[in-house]
Amino acid sequence: MSTLVPIPPIRSRGSPGRHGPSLVADLGYEPVDGGGLERAGLLAAMVALMVPMWPAGVDARAIVPPLEYAFGDRSS
């Protein structure tokens, strides 16, 4: 069994993103809803920041907030 790696497909506004997740799953990865295209710039910025850290031996995940804080305050 292959290892599943979350890949965040970005869908267009109002689109349920039907085809992207199935293509990602067909490649053996686990699709994750990454939001609409308005979030694509945020994803690109995160990748530009984090990817160069891995070859340098830095755990880039350490700069990302824990999952329970990743989406902001949901109490309101």
Tens digit of each residue's pLDDT (9 = 90 or more) over 20-40: 777 778 888 887 777 777 777
pLDDT of residue 1: 47
Burial of 35 per CB tally in 10 Å (0-12, 13-18, 19+): middle
Listed by start position, the domains of the chain span 6-69
Whether 5 has a pLDDT exceeding 80, the answer reads no
Tens of pLDDT, residues 38-55:
777 888 888 888 889 888
- The whole-angstrom separation of Cα 27 and Cα 44 is 21
pTM assigned to the model:
0.49
